[in-house]
């Protein structure tokens, strides 16, 4: 009976205890979890508080070292000035300049003054007539200690009346010349300036910093971020010769706070975290769908944009095989895309006569030496050739790796037609300029031709008279007298013919061609035309040609036009000067640095060229003449550059202007190409 009851009681108690352990374990886990939740914030709070305190101590130490370092630098500068004063190597002016510079570069110093042995001011950075006796008592005591110890001393901080009552710290450096005391060099530091100049703004925003005395009395404080809360504080001694101060910092930050209702906050945080995870997953799915839709739209838009371009696009891989062409390129060459994509050189749109050029450019592209922009000729499927302008650039993928080359192709057939029209118009403009020039000298030309024609008439009349006399009186004809008359008549006829040929050659339209010639031949051929213009203005011509000049490759007519334009401008610029100074000089000599280059100079004594005119001198259609077209100098420079030279101008030291152009010799020149001819004719 007893045993049965005992067993029943035991069976009752034992399952209850097992159930209790089953409940106790989760409760224990929850308790551990809650304890952990409580302990972690508390531990975090303590660690954060310790970190703030350690950071405050480190920052205070850094500020103290900064102040000590700056005061040491000022100490060295003041000692150096005192040494120079003691040795007598610095004048009063030099001392004033030194201390003025020192106080300008160091704003913590409010005043620097030199006193003699009686305490009177010798040099000061301000105009206040203050003697050493007017300084605070603490400063006078420090000056006396410095004199006795023969070493610099700081005074105890005090309010100086000569500094508007500001709290100052005076630094006294005794001045000795040998063993003789000759005075004192005093620098007044403003405690407020020390805090404002030497304490970083970021430290002052987070901490209230003060300078205190040994009794912890605040002498000066800076609280840019507000008053300190007294939670995180630190006091650091500031040891200076003669005085001991302290830096006291008080952080404006309070103690970290624990989260209220940590368990609720944790559950809410976990729940919010779960909800946020679901929301983030949903948002990520929507973003992926939106990105895919935007990508499809972007691809469709870019495809439509590429299909709408008038510019041909062509992509090639690193082996030169075509990987992409747009419809504009296919329409341009007349070949469908399926016949181009995947095609390797040679391409069906290459013209057979330019095959070598294509192969050379392809080799440069495969070697990575692509030309960014060039012109060439393509062939349509019908066999028609057309000019194109190609822009080539590397094709780079999203990882920055080059995968090929991208080219933009423009059909420039219309532009070529416009350029050809401009070239023809430029040729007409140059011919018009030459005809206008000949129109200006037409009257002089008639006068010049009249002389040889009159001489020819006289000589032929005399010869006829001699022949008639011989017919009337046989045997009276003297051939020796007839021969000189006929020779002179022939010479005058050659002279007239030379003038007419020069004019005809000058105004004749022709394609530029460069042939070997000497500078002497060039100048001799254009001198008759220059003399025609010079005679009207009573201008004397003086030529000087250096012997043994190298032969140049030149177009005679073009250079004659250059010489005629330059000399005409020179002659017109000398119309307003006295006749005895109207001298036109033409010189030809070797280039000093390039012996194969000839330099031709046209020098006048005219009115010269102003700086405003010089800036636009070679601009098309710019002229200082009322009747001028403004193309003369522009045509001259273009013609000279066509020959590989340069046209420049400079002031003549004797008054006037020097126009100088260079002509490279055969070594530096090449026979002009069709492109050169197009350029000189205004292409």
* CA distance linking residue 457 with residue 115, whole number of Å: 111
Evaluate whether the domain defined by 1-254 bears CATH number 3.30.450.350. yes
309-411 fold: Beta-Lactamase (3.30.450)
Buried b (16+ CB within 10 A) or exposed e, 633-648: bbbbbbbbebbbbebe
pLDDT tens for each residue of 322-340: 888 888 888 888 889 888 8
What's the pLDDT band for 8 if we cut at 50, 70, 90? very low
SS3 666: coil
Domain with CATH 3.30.450.350 in the chain: 1-254
Q: Average pLDDT of 513-517?
A: 81
Q: Which two structure tokens, joined as six digits, stand for 112?
A: 């620097």
Residue 293 buriedness (CB in 10 A; 0-12 / 13-18 / 19+): exposed
pLDDT tens-digit series, residues 218-254? 888 888 777 877 788 888 888 888 888 888 888 888 7
Task: Write the CB contacts of 458 (distance below 8 Å, at least 6 apart in sequence).
Answer: none
Location of each CATH 3.30.450.20 domain in the chain? 309-411
- Smallest CA-to-CA distance from 582 within 600, 564, 562, 603 is with 603
pLDDT tens figures, 86-115? 888 778 888 888 888 888 888 888 888 888
pLDDT for res 275: 64
Task: Give ranges for CATH 3.30.565.10 in the chain.
Answer: 512-680
- 456: number of Cβ within 10 Å: 18
pLDDT at 683: 32
374-378, 426-430, 665-669: the lowest-pLDDT one:
665-669
What whole-number distance in Å separates Cα of residue 435 and Cα of residue 417? 27
Per-residue pLDDT at 152: 92
pLDDT of the residue at 598: 93
Quick check: 261 pLDDT over 80?
A: no
The dihedral through the CA atoms of 170, 175, 179, 182 has a sign that is negative
- Min mean pLDDT across 257-266, 271-280, 309-318, 422-431 is at 257-266
pTM tops 0.75: no
Q: Which residue has the higher pLDDT, 613 or 312?
A: 312
pLDDT, tens only, 624-653: 554 444 456 777 887 888 888 888 888 888
Q: What is the pLDDT of residue 615?
A: 72
Which class is 512-680 in CATH? alpha beta
The predicted pLDDT at position 9 comes to 44
Quick one: pLDDT band at residue 193, thresholds 50, 70, 90? confident
- pLDDT greater than 70 at residue 377: yes
User: In this model, does residue 367 exceed pLDDT 90?
Assistant: no
What Å distances lie between residue 187 and 108, 121, 240, 418, 508, CA to CA? 10, 13, 14, 82, 91
What single-letter DSSP state applies at residue 1?
-
pLDDT score recorded for residue 174: 92
Instruction: Tell which residue, 190, 185, 199, has the closest CA to residue 75.
Output: 185
Q: 3-class SS at 103?
A: helix
Kind of pairing between the strands at 583-590 and 540-545: parallel
């Amino acid at each position: 009976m007893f045993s049965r009851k005992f067993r029943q009681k035991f069976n009752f108690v034992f399952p209850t205890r097992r159930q209790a352990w089953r409940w106790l374990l989760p409760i224990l886990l929850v308790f551990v979890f809650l304890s952990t939740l409580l302990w972690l914030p508390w531990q975090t709070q303590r660690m954060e508080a310790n970190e703030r305190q350690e950071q405050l101590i480190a920052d205070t130490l850094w500020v103290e070292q900064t102040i000590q370092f700056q005061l040491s630098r000022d100490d060295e500068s003041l000692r150096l000035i005192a040494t120079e004063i003691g040795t007598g190597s610095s004048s009063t002016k030099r001392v004033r300049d030194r201390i003025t510079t020192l106080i300008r570069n160091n704003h913590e110093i409010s005043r620097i003054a030199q006193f003699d042995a009686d305490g009177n001011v010798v040099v000061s950075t301000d105009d206040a007539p203050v003697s050493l006796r007017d300084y605070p008592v603490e400063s006078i005591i420090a000056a006396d200690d410095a004199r006795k110890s023969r070493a610099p001393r700081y005074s105890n901080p005090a309010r100086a009346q000569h500094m508007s009552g500001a709290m100052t710290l005076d630094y006294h450096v005794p001045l000795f010349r040998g063993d003789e005391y000759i005075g004192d060099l005093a620098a007044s530091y403003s405690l407020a300036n020390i805090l404002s100049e030497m304490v970083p703004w970021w430290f002052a925003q987070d901490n209230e910093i003060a300078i205190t005395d040994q009794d912890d009395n605040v002498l000066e404080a800076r609280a840019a971020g507000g008053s300190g809360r007294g939670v995180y504080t630190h006091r650091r001694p500031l040891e200076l010769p003669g005085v001991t101060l302290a830096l006291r910092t008080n952080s404006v930050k309070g103690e970290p706070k624990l989260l209220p209702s940590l368990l609720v906050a944790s559950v809410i945080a976990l729940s919010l975290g779960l909800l946020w995870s679901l929301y983030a997953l949903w948002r990520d799915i929507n973003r992926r769908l939106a990105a895919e839709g935007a990508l499809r739209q972007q691809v469709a838009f870019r495809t439509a944009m590429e299909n709408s371009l008038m510019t041909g696009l062509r992509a090639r891989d690193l082996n030169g095989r075509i990987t992409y062409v747009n419809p504009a390129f296919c329409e341009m060459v007349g070949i469908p895309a399926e016949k181009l994509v995947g095609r390797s050189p040679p391409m069906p749109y290459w013209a057979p006569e330019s095959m070598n050029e294509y192969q050379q450019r392809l080799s440069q592209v495969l070697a990575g030496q692509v030309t960014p922009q060039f012109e060439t000729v393509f062939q349509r499927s019908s066999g028609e050739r057309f000019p194109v302008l190609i822009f080539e650039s590397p094709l780079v993928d999203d990882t920055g790796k080059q995968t090929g080359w991208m080219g933009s192709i423009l059909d420039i057939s219309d532009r070529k037609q416009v350029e050809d029209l401009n070239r023809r118009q430029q040729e007409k403009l140059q011919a018009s300029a030459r005809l206008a020039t000949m129109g200006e000298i037409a009257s002089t030309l008639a006068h010049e031709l009249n002389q040889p024609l009159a001489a020819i008439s006289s000589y032929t009349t005399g010869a006829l008279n001699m022949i008639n006399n011989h017919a009337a009186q046989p045997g009276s004809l003297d051939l020796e007298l007839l021969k000189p008359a006929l020779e002179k008549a022939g010479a005058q006829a050659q002279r007239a013919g030379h003038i007419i040929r020069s004019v005809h050659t000058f105004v004749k339209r022709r394609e530029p061609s460069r042939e070997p010639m000497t500078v002497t031949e060039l100048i001799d051929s254009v001198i008759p035309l220059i003399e025609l213009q010079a005679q009207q203005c009573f201008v004397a011509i003086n030529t000087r040609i250096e012997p043994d000049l190298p032969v140049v490759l030149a177009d005679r007519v073009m250079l004659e036009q250059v010489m005629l334009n330059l000399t005409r401008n020179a002659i017109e610029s000398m119309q307003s000067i006295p006749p005895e100074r109207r001298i036109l000089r033409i010189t030809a000599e070797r280039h000093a640095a390039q012996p194969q280059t000839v330099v031709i100079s046209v020098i006048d004594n005219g009115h010269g060229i102003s700086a405003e005119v010089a800036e636009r001198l070679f601009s098309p259609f710019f002229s200082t003449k009322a009747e001028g077209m403004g193309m003369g100098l522009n045509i001259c420079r273009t013609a000279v550059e066509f020959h590989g030279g340069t046209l420049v101008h400079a002031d003549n030291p004797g008054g006037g202007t020097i126009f100088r152009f260079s002509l490279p010799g055969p070594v530096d020149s090449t026979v002009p190409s069709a492109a050169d001819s197009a350029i000189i004719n205004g292409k």
